[in-house]
Amino acid sequence: MQFFIEVLIAGLLSGVMYSLVALGYVLIYKASGVFNFAQGAMVFFAALTAVGLHDLGLSLWVAVPLTMVAMIVLGLVTEKFVLRPLVAQPEITLFMATIGLTFFVEGLAQAIWGASVRGLELGIADVPLEWLMEVSGMAISQFDLIAAGIAAALVAGLALFFSRTKVGRALRAVADDHQAALSVGIPLQHIWGVVWAVAGFVALVSGLLWGARNGVQFALTFVALKALPVLILGGFTSVPGAIVGGLIIGASEKLAEVFLPPLLQQLFDTQMNLGGIEGWFPYVLALLFLLVRPEGLFGEKIIRRI
Amino acid sequence: MSKKSGEVILSFDNISLSFGGVKALTSIGFDVREHEIRAIIGPNGAGKSSMLNVINGVYHPQQGEIVFRGQKRRGMNTYESAKSGIARTFQNIALFKGMSVLDNIMTGRNLKMRSNFLLDAIYWGPAQREEIAHRKAVEEIIDFLEIQHIRKTPVGRLPYGLQKRVELGRALAAEPSILLLDEPMAGMNVEEKQDMCRFILDVNDQLGTTIVLIEHDMGVVMDISDRVVVLDYGKKIADGTPDEVRSNQNVIDAYLGVAH
Amino acid sequence: MFYRESGQFKSTYAEDSQIFPIRQDRWVVGGIVAFAFLGIPLLAQFGWVSNYAFTAILTPFLIFALAALGLNILTGYAGQLSLGTAAFMAVGAFASYNFMLRIEGMPILVAFVLGGLCAAAVGIVFGLPSLRIRGFYLAAATLATQFFIVWCLTKVGWFTNYSSSGVITAQKIEMFGYAFDSSMSKYLFVLGIVSVMALLAKNMVRTNIGRSWMAIRDMDMAAEVIGFRPMRTKLMAFAVSSFYCGVAGALFAYAYLGTVEPEGFNLDLSFRILFMVIIGGLGSILGSFLGSAFIVLLPIVLNVAMQSLEGAGLPLPSGIGSSIELMAFGALIIFFLIVEPHGLARLWQIGKEKLRLWPFPH
């Protein structure tokens, strides 16, 4: 039981970090109706740039703001050269364009910084919490806890930003109806710029957290890809959905990774090594979920009119 | 007029339909006789399109009963209704934009095709013969609708009026016994409307197809339809021949407004 | 001047429904096919087509074209976006391998067909969500296929005949006692299969099944109302598409790589094939071939370009080639989606229109 709780908590903590990545997708989708597949590549780009600058001898306090500038530039360039020419195209065309963008950004990051794995040290040790160990005997990573805390704070902050501020209101108006937002005088380009910048910021923070945890490498894009099942569960437009979806995915994949193999081995009576279940479990879970509830946990049921 | 008063083939009783809390139709009941042209009219939002959607099974009413060719049922389903000879056109043209006019109309014949995909893939013998036979039938419709010159044009490139005509063609290709037309003349100029009227009357006259149509142009409706049912706010307010409906006080109130 | 259809009158609908109703088109296409079957082997006899050309360009071009064709059926014709193409290829490859391995005297073509059918069955299962969701929801869900299948093939030893490294070595291609050993014979073997399957695909998309796919793609509600059953139509698209991808996967293993591991069918391959379809042209058989040629040739061209840059004394950091390749792919996809969303196939068509009118502009 204790082991179960330990796994569950570890899963939930990484789930918070999935939520953070997923939030980047939600922001852009809500504001511009674009499902930005390249968000994962942006996470990778941000982490690699920050760590690359750091390795050049800059302190993190300089490297991270510089990276932020790079992310904003990347966002603005994307908005101008990829999305604006494709305005009013079908959603699916935009989606495919962002797949192209994914390749471009991944290639760009590696062309600048090389393809080797880099370590990132944020100054938070990845050791079990001692007091918790003493009290309950459970090993919960200190890093995971702090990272989840940062992610949670960011998610909450963004949620507040969008529900309480003027920019947030404008953004929600834009998400609802571009034309109507324009007609009441909301500067559309400006709002999109803000959104891409915020999405870049989210990518940066997730990139740093995940990068420090797993090393800054190409595999980060696969972590970011896991935001997709999170979104399927939570619905593409819902911030609370992204949070809950992230927690579910994080917890269930860890539980599946630890507890499914023995079960399967028993079931099929083999000694096969069945590790790596967490690589596909979120997707299959999302797929099964879609069969039951296509609109997601928090999405609205759509009545189609003809 | 006498040849038109056939048997009742389709009747509705007490049909109610709502979306969430919004009532689209409330206790609607009327019938359709074979070979007649039956119009459904009413102000915007009266529930006319919803009614058509109930007839061919796109929407399923929460309440009520439909009797189709003597069979009682709670609701229709799209496939069954297509199979039993109900075809329709849509208010906002619902053509297959990426396909040519010819292919669009060919899709209308899909339920008459026997060949399977393996035979199609080989395109030899029976499959080819069948395809050609259906092509012939479709070409007759193309002739009838006078759209020979655009048969290979992708429909997305056609002007609105022609698209409407192609959509009628697709519905006709199924050789329907009941044809549902949702605002077939919306957005047309007078000439196009005249053409469309002629096509509708010809279909009704020569093929004996029963026609249920929604139309806003009162002149057209009163001219071509045999009986008219009037909806307002999802309720039926009148039903009868054009002359009866024209003089009905409820209808006048609904259209012209009423002083309170 | 020479590309005119004037004077070519059709007196039957059969004539008008041909694949290439214009005589000049028939000549050109006939010429290309004849050249592929006879001309290229003949040139090879004279040493003008190298082994490298067969193994690194022509054979992979044909195999990828077949996979792109499969994906195009699903995405271009039926409108269902999939990111799991490589997984279906993997199923085809590994199923064919096991049929060959475990059944004595299994003819290779039958093994390929069975492999394709296995892929089709998997396609139907993973296509089920398409009944309820669309667009990028579906695309995200197809990732499940990609990751789950590759994991299964890696972890379940039976599929790879318990090879310790997970790598399988495809059996020799033999038919009627003839062994397809040389690179040219493999090319011809692939060419034969791909030609037949392309013809079948063309026939499907121009008859009722193809119309049902396009109808569902363009306006699913209307398609349903005129009697196409969405479930059947979509699952059929998944099945046929996966069958094509499965056969392509089998060829990938047998005629191209020879040895292959499940990881070889990764997400990157899926994307690559999607790019072929987008660049070549969604909803075009010809486009699948053009897109495949483009994507196969692009890295080679880039490579040559970079080598010549280095030759000119411009040192490039090692390993940058693959990064530049990624960037080029990405940029091209965006470029095509913006400038010509219908891909090379449409450019080809526009070229033909212009040629038809030449020397007049309109």
Residue C334 corresponds to which tokens in the numbers above? 């965006």
Q: How far is C117 from chain A (nearest CA, A)?
A: 22
Q: What one-character DSSP code corresponds to residue A304?
A: P
What pLDDT is attached to residue A304? 57
Question: Closest partner residue to C208 among B83, B113, B122, by Cβ?
Answer: B113
The identity of residue C132, as a single letter, is: R
- Please check whether residue C13 lies inside any domain of the structure: no
Nearest CB among C132, C319, C337 relative to A96 is that of C337
In chain B, which residues have their Cβ closer than 8 Å to the Cβ of A306? 49, 53, 58, 90-92, 94
Alpha-carbon gap, residue B105 to A273, rounded angstroms: 56
Angle formed by the axes of helices A281-292 and A239-268, to 10°? 110
In angstroms, the Cα distances linking C318 to A56, A111, C325 are 19, 10, 13
| Confidence at residue B4, expressed as pLDDT on a 0 to 100 scale | 57
Using CB atoms, which chains have 3+ pairs under 8 A with A?
B, C
**What phi, psi does C259 have (nearest 5°)?**
-120, 140
End-to-end CA distance of chain B: 40
- Provide the residue range defining the domain that includes C200: 50-357
Per CB-CB distance under 8 Å, the chain B contacts of A303 are: 19-20
Chain A residues within 8 A of C128 when measuring between CB atoms: 291
pLDDT at C65: 97
Q: Which of B131, B139, B142 to mutate to test the interface with C (most CBs of C within 10 A)?
A: B131
Q: Work out the minimum CA distance from C197 to partner chain A, whole angstroms.
A: 27
Hey, is the C-beta of B222 within 8 angstroms of any chain A C-beta? no
Best CA proximity match to B42, nearest among B239, B229, B220, B249: B229
Cβ pair C132:A97 closer than 8 A: no
Q: Which of A113, A226, A280 to mutate to test the interface with C (most CBs of C within 10 A)?
A: A280
Write the ipTM.
0.90
Take residue B77 and report the two structure tokens written for it: 């389903």
Exposure letters B135-153 (e unless 16+ CB within 10 A, then b): bebbbebbeebebeebbee
User: How many CB atoms lie under 10 A from the CB of residue C53?
Assistant: 17
Whether C195 shows a pLDDT value over 70: the answer reads: yes
| CATH T-level topology, domain A2-292 | ABC transporter involved in vitamin B12 uptake, BtuC (1.10.3470)
Given a cut of 80, is residue C212 above it in pLDDT? yes
Task: List the single residue in B with minimal CA-CA distance to C200.
Answer: B121
Distance CA B187, CA B183 (A): 9
Positions in chain B short of pLDDT 50: 1-2
Q: Is the pLDDT of residue C282 over 80?
A: yes
Is C63 a member of any domain? yes
CB B57 within 8 A of CB B99: no
Taking CA atoms, A230 is separated from A22, A246, B200, C224, in Å, by 7, 5, 52, 32
Shortest CA gap C351–chain B (Å): 18
Task: Using CA atoms of C276, C280, C282, C287 in order, give the dihedral in degrees to the nearest 10.
Answer: -120
CB contact under 8 A, C225 and B97: no
Which pair of tokens denotes residue A303?
């009545």
Q: Which helix (H) or strand (E) holds B18?
A: strand B8-19
The CA distance from C254 to C235, in Å, is 28
What is the chain C residue with the closest CA to A277? Answer: C151
Burial class (CB in 10 A: 0-12, 13-18, 19+), C9: exposed
Query: Between chains, do A100 and C333 touch, taking CB under 8 Å as contact?
Result: yes
pLDDT on residue C235: 95
Tell which residue, C267, C282, C283, C236, has the closest CA to residue C123: C236
Which amino acid, one-letter code, is at B210? T
In chain B, where are the structural domains located? 1-85+176-260, 94-174
- Residues 6 or more apart whose Cβ sits within 8 Å of residue C356: C3, C4, C5
With H, G, I as helix, E, B as strand and everything else as coil, classify residue A305.
Answer: coil
Structure confidence at residue B1 (pLDDT): 43
Span between the terminal Cα atoms of chain A, in Å: 53
Q: How far is B92 from chain A (nearest CA, A)?
A: 7
Q: Do A306 and B19 touch (CB under 8 A)?
A: no
* C148 — pLDDT class (breaks 50, 70, 90): very high
Q: What residues of A are in contact with residue C218 (Cβ under 8 Å)?
A: none
Are residues C226 and B108, on separate chains, in Cβ contact within 8 Å?
yes
Nearest C-alpha in C relative to A113: C320
Average pLDDT over residues C187-204: 95
Nearest CA in chain C to A87: C338
- Cβ-defined contact of B94 to A306 (cutoff 8 Å): yes
Which of the given ranges, B29-38, C305-314, C342-351, has the highest pLDDT on average?
Answer: B29-38
C-alpha–C-alpha distance, residues A197 and A203, integer Å:
10
Residue contact C144–A232, C-beta within 8 A: no
The pLDDT of residue C175: 85
Q: Residue C303: its pLDDT value, please?
A: 86
User: What residues does each domain of chain A span?
Assistant: 2-292
Which tokens belong to B199?
């096509």
- Residues from B contacting C (CB-CB < 8 Å) are 56, 58, 78-79, 82-83, 87-88, 90, 94-99, 103, 106-108, 110-111, 113, 115, 117, 120-123, 127-128, 131-132, 135-136, 139, 170-171, 174
CA distances in angstroms from B84 to B11, B56, B88, B182, B208, listed in the order given: 15, 10, 13, 19, 16
Strands B178-182 and B210-214: parallel
Closest by Cα among B164, B174, B166 to B108: B174
Mutate to test the interface with A, among C148, C266, C273, C326 (most CBs of A within 10 A): C326
pLDDT tens per residue, chain A (306 residues)? 778 888 898 889 888 888 888 888 888 888 777 888 898 899 999 999 999 999 888 888 899 999 999 999 998 888 888 888 887 788 778 888 999 999 999 999 999 988 888 887 777 777 777 777 777 767 778 888 888 888 888 888 888 887 788 878 887 787 777 788 888 888 877 887 888 888 889 899 988 888 888 888 888 888 888 888 998 888 777 788 888 999 999 999 999 998 888 888 888 777 777 788 888 999 999 888 888 877 777 766 655 555
The reported pLDDT for the residue numbered B2 is 41
> Token pair of C153, please?
């093939």
Question: Please, are residues C155 and C261 in contact by the beta-carbon 8 Å criterion?
Answer: no
The answer to whether C211 contacts B128, with C-beta atoms less than 8 Å apart, is: no
Cβ proximity of B96 and C223 under 8 Å:
yes
Cα C312 off chain centre by = 37
Phi, psi at C3, each rounded to 5°: -100, 80
Q: Taking CB atoms and an 8 Å limit, are B136 and C211 in contact across chains? A: no
Q: How far is C183 from chain A (nearest CA, A)?
A: 32
Residue C232 belongs to what H/E stretch?
Answer: helix C230-251
DSSP state of A168: H
d(CA A40, CA A225): 6
**Chain A contact for B90 (CB, 8 A cutoff):** yes
pLDDT digits (tens, 9 = 90+) for C66-79: 999 999 999 999 99
Domain assignment of residue C238, yes or no: yes
Chain C hits for B115, Cβ within 8 Å = 207-208
Q: Is C12 domain-assigned?
A: no
A195 touches A31 (CB < 8 A): yes
Q: Look at residue B260 in the predicted model and tell me its pLDDT.
A: 60
Of the candidates C201, C219, C227, the beta carbon closest to that of B110 is on C227
Average pLDDT over residues C241-245: 97
**What's the CATH code, domain B1-85+176-260?**
3.40.50.300
The answer to whether the peptide bond before residue C359 is cis (omega within 30 degrees of 0) is yes
- Count the alpha carbons within 13 Å of A238 in the hemisphere toward its beta carbon: 19
Q: Is B95 in contact with C214 (Cβ distance < 8 A)?
A: no
Task: Report the chain C residue with the minimal C-alpha distance to residue B125.
Answer: C14
CB–CB contact B107 C240 (8 Å): no
3 state SS of C200: helix
Task: Residue C241: give its domain's CATH number.
Answer: 1.10.3470
What is the C-alpha separation between B39 and B35, in angstroms, rounded? 13
